[in-house]
Each structure stands twice: as structure tokens, then as C-alpha cells.
Amino acid sequence: MKSWLIPLGVTYCLLLLPIKGHGQTNFQELPSVSVGIGYFGELFTHPGLVLYGDFALNQDQNQWLTRVNLVHYRHRGHSANTLLLPELLFRRHTTRQSYWEASVGAGSLYQRAHGQVVEFTEGSFSPTTSGRFYFAPSLGLRHGRAFQMSNGHALVPNVGGRIFYQYPFHDFWLMRAAFDVSLSYQIK
């Protein structure tokens, strides 16, 4: 359970950055907020769903954002994984509508095996809990293009990939590669 405390603390701090950075507490005065949903997977055999929220820290061409991801995906049909991943992003606009963004994050991965799990301890097999928490740092790269709507908001399709690690996995860092395709709605 302790591995959830770090990402929850980081998430709380990242959510406060847009407010504290501008000295405002009114949601309407913040630069930009967007929400998104998409496909997240470690190949097509490990499908999942990602929900996320972006909070802009500035409105320049080189934009800093915070993002909070909630990911749920299946791994080889024998486990279900849930990932809470707060990130800090650097977004570089190549045109007015198109951009590239790089992200770095540190989250928590909860992995739950299907069925009964047993372990061999003290000379015998005994049932054990089927779920476990892991530390999950991440690096990512995405591309997006905004399509302006008549109400001033924007729909933004995104495509990207990321590398994240799972620790401790039998006392070493297990590297995982994943990709996501998503659609976000820019509220402001």
C-alpha cells in the first residue's frame, strides 16, 4: 500500500502547480485544461484503456503541462493491471495546431492475478494474496493535432509511445514498452 502514497502525493502536487503557479484559485483563470480517453496497450495482445487530464502551466509555444493518467489493461490473460501515473510534460508546437510532447512520470502499478495464487514457503505451498503494488517510472513521446470547434474548444487526436518500468519484479527492473492512441477534448 505504501507504493500508492508517492504517486498520490506527486499527483496532488502536480494538480496544485497550475493553481499555485498563477496565484489563482478560480478554475476559469487557469490557462488550459483538457480531458482524454484512449487505447493503451503493451502490444495488441495486452489491450487497455487510459483516462487522463492535462493541466497547462503556461500558454507559450514551448508549453509545460501536468498530466494524471489512470490506466487499466490486461496482461496475457492471466492478470489485470491498474496504473496511476502522474507526469510532467514538455509540449513543443510545430504549427498552430500540431505539437510533439515529451513526458516523464512516476506512478504506481497494481497487478492482480486471476485465480488462486500459491507460494512455496517453509517447505509447503500456501495461498497468498493475488495482488501486488509496484513502483512504475515512465518516459513517453506523443504527437497530437488540434481541430478547433465552433465553440472555441478543440478535439485533439494523439498517438504516442512510452517506456515504463516495474519495480521490484523479482528484485530487478522490468522494462515495458506501450503505445497509446487517444482523443482529448480541450476545455479551455
Residue 1 CA, distance from chain mean position: 19
User: What was the pLDDT predicted at 12?
Assistant: 58
C-beta neighbour count of 69 within 10 angstroms? 25
**What is the pLDDT, as a whole number, of residue 118?**
67
Give residue 27's pLDDT. Answer: 41
How many CB atoms within 10 Å of residue 39? Answer: 16
Peptide bond into 47 cis (omega under 30): no
Q: How many CB atoms lie within 10 A of CB 23?
A: 7
Instruction: Take residue 152 and report the three cell numbers written for it.
Output: 472555441
CA atoms of 27 and 21, how far apart (whole Å): 13
pLDDT score of 29: 47
pLDDT, block means (10 residues), the chain with 188 residues: 56 55 45 88 81 87 89 79 91 90 92 72 73 88 92 90 83 85 88
Domains and CATH numbers, the chain: 2-186 (2.40.160.20)
- Pairing of β 98-113 and β 79-93: antiparallel
Instruction: Give the pLDDT score at 149.
Output: 87
DSSP string spanning the chain?
A: -HHHHHHHHHHHHHHHHHHHHHT---GGGSS-EEEEEEEEESSTTSEEEEEEEEEES--SSEEEEEEEEEEEEEETTTEEEEEEEEEEEEEEESSSSEEEEEEEEEEEEEEEESS-EEEEETTEEEEE-SEEEEEEEEEEEEEEE-EE-TTS-EEEEEEEEEEEEEEEETTEEEEEEEEEEEEEEE--
